[in-house]
A and B are shown apart, each in its own frame.
Chain A
Amino acid sequence: MNFSTRLLPAKLPQKSSGFPLLHPRLFHLPPNYTTTNTNFTPVVGLEIHAQLKNNTKLFSASDPRFDQNVNSNLSLFDIAIPGSMPVLNKNVLYKAAKTVISLKGSIQQETDFQRKHYFYPDQPLGYQITQQNKPIGIGGHLILGKFDGLNYERKIRIKQIQIEQDTAKTINDTNPIYDLIDYNRSGAALLEIVTEPDIRSAEEATLFLKKIILVLQTIESSKALMEEGSLRCDVNVSLDFNFSDSENKLNSNSLESFKKGPRVEIKNLNSLRSVTNAIESEIQRQISVLFDGGEISSETRSYDVIAKQTKSSRTKESKPDYRFMPEADIPTIHLSHKWIENIKKELPEFPDDKKNRLSDQYGLSIDDINVLYKIPTIIDFFEKVCSLGICPKEAYFWISGEIFRLINYHKPNFTENIPITPQEFGSLLKSIENSDLTSSMVKKILITRFDGDKKTIPEIISINGWNLIDNKLDLIALCKDIINNNPKQVEKYKSTKNNRLLGFFVGKVIAESKGNAKPQIVSEIIKQLLK
């Protein structure tokens, strides 16, 4: 990605004389702004909110799913009825702990909940129950590298992982007089993952998000779908002002040499694209401010998708004091060693480990693996097919080709559940190998299955009459007919032995057999007959 063209402010003439760009990812000011070498490094951190996959909410027994009738699934506590009490959902702790371990963080054996106070209609209690000083997870990291399409490695550290309540949903565009509130989401369990400011570009931020989404989906702690709001993201962007040694800093996690500018927070980003665009436009904006001789102020901004710009929503001066205090209705939670160890045993294989193994075990390239990972559930299918003795290359070829084509055609019906078992698919591939079926027959069988035909494979074959003509005598008779009906071509073939003419006869026979003859065998017979 060429950063020099994408990130420089529009009004700055590129390559202004005497100040060449030292590094594609760095920026510099015109000579009248500072005296010496003036390179910026973007410093980006993320706050990710993922809704935990659960049948009940964090502190009540109501259903947290997002697609239900408005205000239809509420418990007393969800709307802060006086005297109602929170009851902690144990499964939330389990899924949060799983996430902490998967991101290489450490689980805090003593963890508690705090109240964060602010008035807003989407917050029925007048405070959010969240974690502050004793979150469930501290530390951890993800490494971006070759599997993510980077030609270098970037370790992004995680500061903490905490559990908190989701808010209700305010709807302010359907009624001109009133704002409407849907409390269905109120009190659903969220996991907030806060990174250290280790991200150096919009690209890295997007890759990191993609990777964390994959992890959350693999361990089934969240659906992590940005389009349905089960994963949302806030970004913090600032520029580094310490201009020495910029080159090294890009490759180092140490923040000691950094002299960060004021931090700007962009809230509520709900797609990968808006994360990328918001970060890029914010970096550009901050540089422009500096160019104009202005000062960057520490503030909260929002991203306007249409204008592709961030705009100020709250300055630091008006920043609320949340008056954190312990939530006395939920005692401090003590997690035992045994419980934590048990979770470690139950964890599935992590994506990078799995990719490494796929590459070693099946000889797939990184590109092949990443193609399969476009539909993560397919990996399991692929491995099961291979375990039946099918050549991995052949299995990969069919899955990435025909199966993906059909899944995409029928999207989103089969992304979770392919309508054919690995056993059935494996036996189809074997039939091709054994010359029992042709490739085009298998394609037709797959299409039938994806169209919703629930019959068994043999039934589909027999109903459609897709059996290969086993009987050689029948085939010979068929070939003889074709030869007799095309004397000219026979003449020509006999004199030239042209293979294209051989193909002509084979094609005719296959067409006559309605695809039920195998080309290799037909070709042999024709050769014999015309010898």
Chain B
Amino acid sequence: MLSLSKFCSSKGIKTTLTTNLNKKSNFTFRFHSTLENGVKLYQNNIKELQFQPQEFINDLSNFITLKNKRVNAVISQRKKDFILKGISKEFPSDTCKNPDSELQYKNKYTSSMTSNENLGTSSQKNINSRNPGLLMFIKDNIATTNEYTTCSSKSLENYLSPYDATVVELLEKSGAVILGKTNMDEFGMGSTSTKSVFGPVKHQMNTSDGKNLLNIISSHSADNLLNPKVISSIENDRHVQDRCAGGSSGGSAVAVASRFCNAALGSDTGGSVRLPAAWTGVVGFKPSYGKCSRHGLIAYANSLDTIGILAESVETTKREYYVTELSESVLNAWKDVADILESMGATVTQASLPNTKYGLSTYYTIISAEASSNMSRYDGIRYGHRSSGVGLDIDGHDAGSKYANTRSEGLGSEVKRRIILGNYVLSLGAYDDYYTQALKMRQLILRDFNNVFSLANPLDWALEELDSLPDENVLFNDSGVDLILMPTSVSTSPILSDNESNTKDTDSVHEYVNDAMTVPTSLAGVPTICVPVGISAKDGFPIGLQLAGQYGDDELVLEVANLLQKKLFDASKYQGLFGSDNQLSLVPKSLY
């Protein structure tokens, strides 16, 4: 099922790949106006002396408000005053009055800066030249104190979190500027971003945008006549339809793709970052499970939930990551990218993960069980929606109906479906047949990955009482691979109305299949990145592929993805045609 790339020695590849990068890269954009084109590609070392925070934020805010009317990605924008305060803050003097503690703070800050040179979002230089830091949106299931944290659910409609999530705190401390919160599937349950109390998120492109894109390519390229794939697809023009952004972090993905921000935080439980990344054409990274603090991430399925990053490029993702510490076209793309990797010095072999075919059923059993448990705190007693007419004179027996009213009003149908499924698989009669089996299956899938990777899973030996590191033959398996390359989704983004009709149906299994490619690495907890590799010659919509590494090997995943992305931009011959197009600016213009 899967092909994968093997790097015999990661040091070796690094050298081959860097020489390739010395060629002049096409990976630059010429944006002129924030009001028209949104944010620029984040560049750490550019000094912009003319930068006017007030004007910039005004323009950006107007740009977002206008564009968001169509895509519905952003559900709350932070007040301009707050944003400006964040940008112009003289770090850190106004927060510390005591000179001693100020000094300590400064020392702590600078030492943390120097300890990780890649922590590029806010070097001291940037703050002094008053450049904005990384501009970011946050998925609405991550707690922030400045705006509501709703999880796109009625049950938390007016919920104001009393604390900031650890990831948000770290980002702000490092100079990132948070612009607001993004739309999502209710509590993260879904892969389309349509099941939201705020309405569905729409793809930044519609079907005709895709056709236009293919048109531009075919009209400008000399060899267009020789490309029957493109010609046929353009001729099959139909009326304009909206496309699905993917989910559940669809709002974050569209916000990045629409140039509202440089990066956005999402959450990935079974592919919620990677699937929308693939469909909207941005980078989506799911770190190893547990590597980014989940404190402040509102739990959906807590043994799989991971904070993820959606970003304009791997470079930006990497920065983020360090800060937080934290069809046919698809098949063609997969083969082509494998070839590109081989040309870059990698060894590509086939590998099989025999148990991943049970991934989807395993995944849906486990997440519904955990969701049913995690949703049980929304009882309306301490916070959130409470059914009117529900008093709290609860004395044991009739408490049930009062809980029931509150919860059936506050929670959406997909959430209820998963609660009921979860309660069923955890009930005495079904537990052993479903839940226990799913836990076993999960172990087998994890074993599949461990067998394939050359690096041993650190969680396997970290628990032993060891005085020193285990032997090299325990840590490395010579016949294993370093990274696995696989598709993120079976197709490009589907037409939105198709999905809407599905959600009205009681049968949502069709939608669950969207997750088939992404859940195995979620179940195994291993780091996975989705990189946009090009566009489908059929409809002009983006295609993303995933690279997965062993648990804890996040750096290698990011490094190779970064090199791969640069190489893809270099190789895409139609790149020059799309300088100021902000709908698909982040995708290499290669056709598959």
Q: Closest Cβ of chain B: how far from A287's Cβ, in Å?
A: 29
B398-433 vs A: 1/0 string, CB under 8 Å?
011001000000000000000000010011100100
On chain A, the residues within 8 Å of B302 by CB distance are: 328-329
Whether the Cβ atoms of B395 and A172 lie closer than 8 Å is yes
On chain B, the residues within 8 Å of A126 by CB distance are: 373, 375-377, 379
Contacts A178-B391, A178-B393; is A80 near B377 (CB within 8 Å)? Answer: yes
Interface residues of A in 224-275 (CB under 8 A from B): none
Whether the Cβ atoms of A179 and B392 lie closer than 8 Å is yes
Residue of A nearest to B422 (CB): A323
B364 is an interface residue with CB less than 8 A from chain A: no
A63-85 vs B: 1/0 string, CB under 8 Å?
00000000000001001111111
On chain B, the residues within 8 Å of A127 by CB distance are: 373, 376
Contacts A121-B381, A124-B382, A177-B391; is A82 near B373 (CB within 8 Å)? Answer: no
Residue of B nearest to A323 (CB): B426
Contacts A82-B143, A83-B296, A178-B391; is A325 near B379 (CB within 8 Å)? Answer: no
On chain B, the residues within 8 Å of A125 by CB distance are: 376-377
Whether the Cβ atoms of A119 and B395 lie closer than 8 Å is no
Interface residues of B in 344-399 (CB under 8 A from A): 369-370, 372-373, 375-377, 379, 381-383, 391-396, 399
Residue of B nearest to A318 (CB): B397
A321 is an interface residue with CB less than 8 A from chain B: yes
B142 is an interface residue with CB less than 8 A from chain A: yes
A115 is an interface residue with CB less than 8 A from chain B: yes
A345 is an interface residue with CB less than 8 A from chain B: no
Q: Closest Cβ of chain A: how far from B403's Cβ, in Å?
A: 5
Whether the Cβ atoms of A83 and B376 lie closer than 8 Å is no
Whether the Cβ atoms of A177 and B295 lie closer than 8 Å is no
Whether the Cβ atoms of B426 and A324 lie closer than 8 Å is yes
Select which of A82, A117, A324 is within 8 A of B156 by beta carbon: A82
Expressed in whole angstroms, the Cα–Cα distance for A79 and B379 within the complex equals 12
Whether the Cβ atoms of B399 and A119 lie closer than 8 Å is yes
On chain A, the residues within 8 Å of B370 by CB distance are: 325, 328
B162 is an interface residue with CB less than 8 A from chain A: yes
B149 is an interface residue with CB less than 8 A from chain A: yes
Expressed in whole angstroms, the Cα–Cα distance for A117 and B374 within the complex equals 10
Q: Closest Cβ of chain A: how far from B142's Cβ, in Å?
A: 7
Residue of A nearest to B297 (CB): A83
A90 is an interface residue with CB less than 8 A from chain B: no
Expressed in whole angstroms, the Cα–Cα distance for A328 and B352 within the complex equals 29
Expressed in whole angstroms, the Cα–Cα distance for A314 and B297 within the complex equals 38
Residue of B nearest to A170 (CB): B394
Residue of B nearest to A178 (CB): B392
A334 is an interface residue with CB less than 8 A from chain B: yes
B541 is an interface residue with CB less than 8 A from chain A: no
Expressed in whole angstroms, the Cα–Cα distance for A471 and B156 within the complex equals 90
Q: Closest Cβ of chain B: how far from A319's Cβ, in Å?
A: 10
Label chain A's interface by main secondary structure. loop
Select which of A83, A115, A117, A329 is within 8 A of B143 by beta carbon: A83
B123 is an interface residue with CB less than 8 A from chain A: no
A336 is an interface residue with CB less than 8 A from chain B: yes
Q: Closest Cβ of chain A: how far from B292's Cβ, in Å?
A: 13
Select which of B142, B395, B427 is within 8 A of A179 by beta carbon: B395
Expressed in whole angstroms, the Cα–Cα distance for A181 and B382 within the complex equals 10
Q: Closest Cβ of chain A: how far from B267's Cβ, in Å?
A: 11
Whether the Cβ atoms of A325 and B377 lie closer than 8 Å is no
On chain B, the residues within 8 Å of A115 by CB distance are: 373
Expressed in whole angstroms, the Cα–Cα distance for A95 and B206 within the complex equals 62
A350 is an interface residue with CB less than 8 A from chain B: no
Q: Closest Cβ of chain A: how far from B250's Cβ, in Å?
A: 20
B109 is an interface residue with CB less than 8 A from chain A: no
A409 is an interface residue with CB less than 8 A from chain B: no
Expressed in whole angstroms, the Cα–Cα distance for A325 and B159 within the complex equals 28
Which of B369, B394, B400, B403 is packed against the most chain A CB atoms within 10 Å?
Answer: B394
User: How many residues belonging to A are interface residues under a CB distance threshold of 8 Å?
Assistant: 33
B446 is an interface residue with CB less than 8 A from chain A: no
Expressed in whole angstroms, the Cα–Cα distance for A329 and B141 within the complex equals 17
Whether the Cβ atoms of A328 and B391 lie closer than 8 Å is no
Expressed in whole angstroms, the Cα–Cα distance for A329 and B342 within the complex equals 40
Whether the Cβ atoms of A117 and B162 lie closer than 8 Å is no
A120 is an interface residue with CB less than 8 A from chain B: yes
Select which of A119, A181, A321 is within 8 A of B400 by beta carbon: A119
Residue of A nearest to B465 (CB): A336
Whether the Cβ atoms of A121 and B391 lie closer than 8 Å is no
Residue of B nearest to A337 (CB): B465
Whether the Cβ atoms of B435 and A325 lie closer than 8 Å is yes
Q: Closest Cβ of chain B: how far from A180's Cβ, in Å?
A: 9
B215 is an interface residue with CB less than 8 A from chain A: no
On chain A, the residues within 8 Å of B399 by CB distance are: 119-121
B299 is an interface residue with CB less than 8 A from chain A: yes
Select which of B159, B295, B296, B427 is within 8 A of A323 by beta carbon: B427
Whether the Cβ atoms of A119 and B376 lie closer than 8 Å is yes
Expressed in whole angstroms, the Cα–Cα distance for A325 and B430 within the complex equals 13
On chain B, the residues within 8 Å of A84 by CB distance are: 163, 295-296
Expressed in whole angstroms, the Cα–Cα distance for A389 and B295 within the complex equals 61
Residue of A nearest to B294 (CB): A85
Interface residues of B in 101-150 (CB under 8 A from A): 141-143, 149
On chain B, the residues within 8 Å of A79 by CB distance are: 382
Expressed in whole angstroms, the Cα–Cα distance for A120 and B377 within the complex equals 10
Expressed in whole angstroms, the Cα–Cα distance for A126 and B370 within the complex equals 13
On chain B, the residues within 8 Å of A82 by CB distance are: 143, 149, 151, 156, 159, 161, 298-299, 377, 383
On chain B, the residues within 8 Å of A120 by CB distance are: 396, 399
Interface residues of B in 433-484 (CB under 8 A from A): 435, 439, 463, 465
B303 is an interface residue with CB less than 8 A from chain A: yes
Which of A115, A120, A121, A179 is packed against the most chain B CB atoms within 10 Å?
Answer: A121
Residue of B nearest to A177 (CB): B393
Expressed in whole angstroms, the Cα–Cα distance for A325 and B156 within the complex equals 25
B184 is an interface residue with CB less than 8 A from chain A: no
Q: Closest Cβ of chain B: how far from A115's Cβ, in Å?
A: 6
Which of B296, B377, B399, B403 is packed against the most chain A CB atoms within 10 Å?
Answer: B377
On chain A, the residues within 8 Å of B403 by CB distance are: 119
Whether the Cβ atoms of A179 and B393 lie closer than 8 Å is yes
Expressed in whole angstroms, the Cα–Cα distance for A52 and B41 within the complex equals 56
Expressed in whole angstroms, the Cα–Cα distance for A76 and B165 within the complex equals 12
Expressed in whole angstroms, the Cα–Cα distance for A328 and B382 within the complex equals 24
Which of A82, A115, A181, A325 is packed against the most chain B CB atoms within 10 Å?
Answer: A82
On chain A, the residues within 8 Å of B463 by CB distance are: 334
Whether the Cβ atoms of A321 and B162 lie closer than 8 Å is no
Expressed in whole angstroms, the Cα–Cα distance for A239 and B256 within the complex equals 70
Residue of B nearest to A181 (CB): B381
Contacts A82-B298, A126-B376; is A325 near B381 (CB within 8 Å)? Answer: no
Q: Closest Cβ of chain A: how far from B371's Cβ, in Å?
A: 11
On chain B, the residues within 8 Å of A177 by CB distance are: 391, 393
On chain B, the residues within 8 Å of A178 by CB distance are: 391-393
Expressed in whole angstroms, the Cα–Cα distance for A121 and B403 within the complex equals 10
Expressed in whole angstroms, the Cα–Cα distance for A181 and B143 within the complex equals 25
Interface residues of B in 269-325 (CB under 8 A from A): 294-299, 302-303
On chain B, the residues within 8 Å of A325 by CB distance are: 369-370, 373, 426, 435
Q: Closest Cβ of chain B: how far from A296's Cβ, in Å?
A: 23
Select which of B141, B161, B400, B465 is within 8 A of A81 by beta carbon: B161
Residue of B nearest to A175 (CB): B393
On chain A, the residues within 8 Å of B162 by CB distance are: 76, 81
13 more contacts with CB within 8 A, not counting A82-B298, A336-B465, are A80-B377, A81-B383, A82-B161, A82-B377, A83-B161, A121-B399, A178-B393, A321-B427, A323-B427, A324-B426, A325-B369, A329-B299, A329-B302
Write 28 A-B pairs (CB below 8 A) sorted by A numbering: A83-B161, A83-B295, A83-B299, A85-B295, A117-B376, A119-B376, A119-B379, A119-B399, A121-B379, A121-B392, A124-B382, A125-B377, A126-B373, A126-B377, A127-B376, A172-B395, A177-B393, A178-B391, A178-B392, A323-B423, A323-B426, A323-B431, A325-B369, A325-B426, A326-B439, A328-B303, A337-B465, A338-B465
5 A-B pairs with the lowest CB-CB distances in the bound complex, closest first: A126-B376, A328-B303, A323-B426, A80-B377, A82-B298
